[in-house]
Amino acid sequence: MDPMELRFPLDEGLLPRLYPDTDTVSKWTQAAKTEITNVVLNRNSWYYRGDELKNAFKPVYEKESLKGYTRDAQQQQGKKEFLCQGHIQLPLDDISYGLYSETTFEQRSVQAQLFQEHFLDAAILHVAERQSSEDSFLFAGVKWAAYSLSGASAAPRDYIYFEYSCKTKDADGRDVIVQYTESPKLFRHQLEEQDMGLVRGNMFVINTFRLDGDNGTLCQSAGAFENSKSGSSRGTSRAIEQVFRSILNLVGLADARAIMNLGVLKKVPKAPAGNDKKVCFVCTKKFNMLTRARQNCRACGRYTCRHCIVGLKFFNETSLYSSTLPVTTEKFCLKCIMHSRQERQFGGTLSFSGNNNAVSLSMSSASVNSDSNTIGSFDVDYKSSSITSESDAFVHDVIAKLDAGGSSSFDMNDLRKKLNTAVEADDETTRAPRVKTASSSRLTSPVNYHLLEPVTAPQAPTQRTPLPTNTVTPPPTTGVAPDFIAFSNMAQSIAAQNTLLKKIHQEGQKMMGRRNTRTPSAHFVDSPPISPCGRKSFTADADRFEILEA
């Protein structure tokens, strides 16, 4: 590993500091709004003519339904333009929830999930506008991010860019999520930073997301990366490819953000006392070493097979004061994923009680804003009804599909279709009214009512409450004393045992008699010498015995 990577993420005092004036930020914001308007409202832009313009580019990336194209800029040397198109199975709400960040910790969490092993560090340098009740995706500010490039010869790069994100409508009246990023020109008095040994790059990127019928969400991205004085064209090409891969990583971003905001990562759970070590907690199928290995859920601690568990990337907070990697992978069972998706719409915190048997939902503002691990008083047990039977059916449908010949690795896109359908199909009469994301804050304004009615958890079997045994039900008493019936049953049981013992004793005597009559009594004098311990076989009419001679 490169020793430079061990220095990231940086301490707060080593992060770049930006001091822009109000007029400069206003000009950046106005330029971003103008560019977004030209893209989504002009029918001659790449937003509408992407299929035609891609013929002028060279295809360099294709994975699943996403395709990426690049070409050298005609007017400027050392500049590469790119175009990216594809579909992902994500609703617009999940995309806006996952991508939005206004603090350094949120920025690090987003970039860690998108760029994964290539992520080094990220930060928020300046905030001009934040989300509002009208637009939950609204943001204007300056951000910083550093990445390592694939390949030993490529030097790590960092970018300082102005971002403007919003929700708008295109010329056809369709809802569109737009993210505009551009590296601004900064003067020396506006930026204060230290030499970190990184290659500073320049970029201009516009990402758009809109629904496209049954195909899912159409993702379109266009922009350019420019070589710096110390950079190479190969490094620029690799940086563009990482942008293409980051779009596919959007699939697990919303789930990772929801689990992180709900407080599940605060404590490492232990396996509950009633946890079954032989079958999967989700699909209830037996474990085996080859196709259904046993794994632990990071949230509830229960044993789950690899078909029913999802791996998500998170920013490793311990890397701030240790030499660990900045990105860590944690695994969660499908039921915890579904539960976190349902609860994130209400701003609650998800944690687990001490015995790990029940999941707790805390709806207090103090528990949401504080970093403590206080467990809420509202407990929902998985075995009862914390997840609806309809949602459980969707999970088992996914598992059955995998067992029928699907991929051994879990398909997040397939699950997300089913999760979204399950959430939308909830009975509104048994749930509290939903709250729109635009009218509520994700962190500071939780809804003060519960989703489910408290259900008593089933009692685990103990010495005082043993497991039920298969006993013969006595006939109706019809006036006979119950003690007499119990005594009669016991006497019959003792008599049956005595009869069985006598039969076993008789069979043993017969066996010994047969052995004594069929064993040779002596050997001839001129017979060959016999070893101290030899084994001979004698065959009777219907039986065969082996006799060990001393």
pTM above 0.85, yes or no: no
Same domain, yes or no, for 184 and 293?
A: no
Q: How far apart are CA 470 and CA 491, in angstroms?
A: 19
Give a yes or no: residue 170 inside a domain.
yes
Give a yes or no: residue 453 inside a domain.
no
Give a yes or no: residue 448 inside a domain.
no
pLDDT of residue 491: 67
> Tens digits of per-residue pLDDT, 336-381?
898 888 887 665 444 433 333 333 333 332 333 333 333 222 233 3
Specify the amino acid at residue 454: P
pLDDT interval class at 547 (50, 70, 90): very low
Same domain, yes or no, for 230 and 272?
A: no
Single out the residue in 225, 250, 275 at which a domain terminates. 250
Q: Which two tokens stand for residue 154?
A: 């490529």
Q: What is the DSSP string of 146-174?
A: EEPPSSTTSPPEEEEEEEEEEEEE-TTS-
- Nearest to residue 70, comparing CAs of 218, 241, 250? 241
- Nearest to residue 163, comparing CAs of 238, 110, 94? 110
> Tens digits of per-residue pLDDT, 209-218?
999 998 999 9
What is the average pLDDT value for the chain, to the nearest integer? 73
Continuous segment of H or E residues that includes residue 314: strand 309-315
- Nearest to residue 457, comparing CAs of 533, 323, 357? 357
Single out the residue in 392, 420, 439 at which a domain terminates. 439
- Note whether 368 and 377 are within 8 A (CB): no
The answer, yes or no, to whether residue 384 has pLDDT greater than 50, is no
> Tens digits of per-residue pLDDT, 5-61?
447 888 888 899 999 999 999 999 999 999 999 999 999 999 999 888 888 899 999
Single out the residue in 250, 275, 302 at which a domain terminates. 250
Q: Which residues pair with 178 in a beta bridge?
A: 166, 208
Continuous segment of H or E residues that includes residue 419: helix 412-424
- Which distant-in-sequence residues (6+ apart) come within 8 Å of 186 by Cβ? 18, 20, 160
- What is the span of the domain harbouring residue 326? 262-439
Give a yes or no: residue 521 inside a domain.
no
Q: How far apart are CA 185 and CA 78, in angstroms?
A: 18
By the 10 Å C-beta count (0-12 exposed, 13-18 middle, 19+ buried), 431 is classed as middle
Q: How far apart are CA 266 and CA 495, in angstroms?
A: 62
Give a yes or no: residue 507 inside a domain.
no
Q: How far apart are CA 17 and CA 145, in angstroms?
A: 13
pLDDT of residue 467: 39
Same domain, yes or no, for 405 and 289?
A: yes
Same domain, yes or no, for 122 and 43?
A: yes
> Tens digits of per-residue pLDDT, 291-306?
888 888 988 888 899 8
Give a yes or no: residue 477 inside a domain.
no
> Tens digits of per-residue pLDDT, 218-250?
999 999 998 766 556 778 888 999 999 999 999
Q: How far apart are CA 86 and CA 342, in angstroms?
A: 27
Q: Which two tokens stand for residue 101?
A: 């960040």
Tell me the range of 55-64, 176-185, 328-337, 508-517 where mean pLDDT is highest: 176-185
- Note whether 239 and 256 are within 8 A (CB): no
Number of separate domains in the chain: 2
